[in-house]
Structure 1
């Protein structure tokens, strides 16, 4: 069909013209074209329309005929009518104009058409109608819009990820990169798009890193997925460790069309792994450097962990040691019931220190036994409770202990003999003084007796040390009782009329050897002085010795019911040698002596006690 401007015959009407258009080939075109086709008259009313365009407009073919465009397409009329009027007015075609709007067939959404409006002229060249040709692009438009929105959504999603994602051509040229790595590096997409990936900012600080990436791209082009940890450069020339992966992207035919690089920041993980490796290395060094053997076993007694010291202690290699159970390391004599002992401990495990006062032995690969001390520590893991045994070879300690015991036995025997001999020698001196006293004037005998008494008090100390087999301290109450008996025998004549008692609060009071000698001499002087001077002119008298313990201190009270001290007479003064010795003896004990205000004479001595161990 040809639509032209031409001269119309006078007798030809508009109706006849449209009827002519509808006849023949044009009518066939009108009803079989995939395009929407309509004929409009000069009033813009439909004179003919095919089913395709009627369907576009959402109104039947019959519903169009004789009705105007404004009636059929009220919402599109403001757009379409002016264009149609322009064609009628100018006689010029409008080709491929885009029309967007709502029609009865697209209620609630926007339809899109590609329209061409061609003038229909009579033979005189007057435009008497319009041939409207429309192609519905709504579906293509919606698909394009959906694709655009999908692309934008994907872009927003990718840009919202902290993951590095990009797209490369197979030769490694950057097509696109998401926002995260760009912001982290302080660069823009224009800085990388079109460049080779290995020349981009993240990689170009190190030639080795670039070469590694080129090798990865070569492998990905061959269809492989490449993945490795790598350090990349970020803003401010800082470094970040990423888990990098490069994957090939294939089309429907299986051809590789793109390469997809991606990466995650694993700096924190790398730091954690480094800390874990450091912790494991530190643990390994501690375990290996320990002088004792360390052995960890499971619930079946199988060896799970052991240090080199443990393996060498038993004469095995590390490899051999891990094939053993703990029962392989105990003496044959206890192996049968050791499993039951181990299972009983594992049923209620608790930390157990090195065995004390218990002989334990372990067995070497050769079958030799050696003494050990073993500590047990239960450790709880996800897989269950494990027992860590600390094994100490005490062969050397045992040898040293034997030598010490032998030396101590020899020393004890020696000290025992020394105290026995000293006691005997002091008794010899006392006997010599007794013999000598027989040949001296009567007034001098008293001095010999006093000296004998002092020597006997010192000999008694050595006698007690010899008897109790303890050579560094003396039990004071026992000593006082023995000393009082000795004084009664020495002054038997006086003790016919004088009584003497020893009392205590039944607590042990040990005196060190340094304090015992001056203590005995002090008691000897105080009691002797009382015997000689407290009961002059009296037929009877009583001397009381009280030993008490208060905390770490010992308190000795020596009192009598005699005549009391003369006025102005105090220890350290007077003509008596013994009385003058008293302050010096107290100082030797680091003690404190107090003169009591009693009806007779009383003294109270306070001094520090030695330890109570025997």
Structure 2
């Protein structure tokens, strides 16, 4: 017995139980007292330990073992240390009753698996969360492809003799949505997406797609701490994209000098963000400032409505400007 107990001497998570069913003559390795948090000198092999087990089925099986209705017990259970439900451990126990030399004996093992179980639960929750995130991404991709398809159908009718406009618009929209999906695919948080990162990347992609070809410079200023949910940032990026494409299409004649489109994002209070977007182009007819005179304006209005925002023309010294107000928070939902 001493040899066996010595083999468990350094273990605080696993204990050897020699004669655990004997009220007087029993030997436990040191790990048992660490697990149940009892003092070895004052501990007596009493049934109150069993009463600190949470699962009543396990308690009943212990009683059946004690009464010799069964000869073997193998259980995983929750243990209230000293009867305190605020201090619980998850344990595994195995006890076997056997005969040796015409005498009945018992031996068993007690293992504290609390840490392993916590890791297992955390891993399971992480896997479930990842599954939900994948569903979310797929749902967003589907919705955004439907939006692009709707835009394409509208523009095929409006610009049937100007295919280059359709191609430019679709390239820009696809680029913005691809950027959105690329970044959100590698995140676990769809509620706090930093706007500045997206706008800088969007400007770089627009420059490579159109800016270099048409000689347009894109300038953006974004307040660092604007973090938005995916429900807000998706239509917001599409609105920015439509406003930008409208400026590219209408603001600059071929020989216009220093073509520039600038954007400024800031918080105006805890609940509202503001975008000022303007170009230094030819400007717009003041009689058309009700945003009802083009397909592009209709698309912008509908996206702004989806965003639960508000958009208006603003007077600028040169060119055309818009002011978009948008919410900083929106109820987040995950598709099932």
Q: TM-score range by the shorter chain?
A: 0.5 to 0.7
The structure 1 residue matched to 2:195, chosen from 470, 476, 486, is 476
The structure 2 residue matched to 1:367, chosen from 100, 106, 109, is 109
Aligned to 2:240: 523
Distance 1:503 1:555 in 2: 12
SS in 2 for 1:367: strand
For the 8 Å contact 2:195–2:222, the answer to whether it is kept is no
Shift in CA distance, 297/370, structure 1 to aligned 2, threshold 3 Å: closer
The structure 1 residue matched to 2:126, chosen from 405, 418, 423, is 405
For the 8 Å contact 1:422–1:459, the answer to whether it is kept is no
1:533 matches 2:254: no
Aligned to 2:302: 584
Distance 2:128 2:37 in 1: 39
Larger Rg: 1
What pairs up with 1:426-465 in 2 under 5 angstroms?
Answer: 443-465=162-184
Distance 1:597 1:421 in 2: 37
Aligned to 1:220: none
Shift in CA distance, 571/465, structure 1 to aligned 2, threshold 3 Å: farther
Deviation at 1:495, TM superposition (A): 4.7
Deviation at 1:522, TM superposition (A): 0.7
1:514 matches 2:256: no
SS in 2 for 1:507: coil
Aligned to 2:77: none
Q: Unpaired runs of 5+ in structure 1?
A: 1-294, 321-351, 374-393
For the 8 Å contact 1:499–1:542, the answer to whether it is kept is yes
The alignment yields a C-alpha RMSD, in angstroms, of 4.7
Cα deviations by residue, 1:298-348 (Å, 9 ceiling, x for unpaired): 9x986999697515669677xx9xxxxxxxxxxxxxxxxxxxxxxxxxxxx
Deviation at 1:590, TM superposition (A): 0.9
What pairs up with 1:89-104 in 2 under 5 angstroms?
Answer: none
Shift in CA distance, 471/529, structure 1 to aligned 2, threshold 3 Å: same
Aligned to 1:561: 280
Distance 1:507 1:563 in 2: 34
Q: Unpaired runs of 5+ in structure 2?
A: 1-35, 67-84, 96-107
Distance 2:110 2:252 in 1: 78
Deviation at 1:603, TM superposition (A): 1.9
Question: What's the TM-score once normalised by structure 2's chain length?
Answer: 0.56
Question: What's the TM-score once normalised by structure 1's chain length?
Answer: 0.33
Aligned to 1:390: none
SS in 1 for 2:224: coil
Distance 1:312 1:540 in 2: 76
Distance 2:287 2:87 in 1: 65
Distance 2:185 2:42 in 1: 54
Distance 1:476 1:608 in 2: 13
The structure 2 residue matched to 1:543, chosen from 236, 261, 267, is 261
For the 8 Å contact 2:260–2:279, the answer to whether it is kept is yes
Aligned to 2:16: none
Shift in CA distance, 443/410, structure 1 to aligned 2, threshold 3 Å: closer
What pairs up with 1:118-197 in 2 under 5 angstroms?
Answer: none
Cα deviations by residue, 1:73-127 (Å, 9 ceiling, x for unpaired): xxxxxxxxxxxxxxxxxxxxxxxxxxxxxxxxxxxxxxxxxxxxxxxxxxxxxxx
Deviation at 1:354, TM superposition (A): 6.3
Deviation at 1:526, TM superposition (A): 1.0
Shift in CA distance, 370/583, structure 1 to aligned 2, threshold 3 Å: same
For the 8 Å contact 1:543–1:560, the answer to whether it is kept is yes
Shift in CA distance, 446/406, structure 1 to aligned 2, threshold 3 Å: closer
Aligned to 1:504: 222
For the 8 Å contact 1:593–1:603, the answer to whether it is kept is yes
The structure 2 residue matched to 1:602, chosen from 310, 321, 330, is 321
SS in 2 for 1:492: helix
For the 8 Å contact 2:232–2:328, the answer to whether it is kept is no
Distance 1:587 1:441 in 2: 27
Higher relative contact order (CA 8 A, sep 6+): 2
Distance 1:502 1:401 in 2: 41
For the 8 Å contact 1:419–1:462, the answer to whether it is kept is no
SS in 2 for 1:588: helix
Cα deviations by residue, 1:420-452 (Å, 9 ceiling, x for unpaired): 9879x99xx9xxx9xxx9xx9974432332233
Distance 2:169 2:186 in 1: 26
For the 8 Å contact 2:259–2:281, the answer to whether it is kept is yes
Shift in CA distance, 400/506, structure 1 to aligned 2, threshold 3 Å: closer
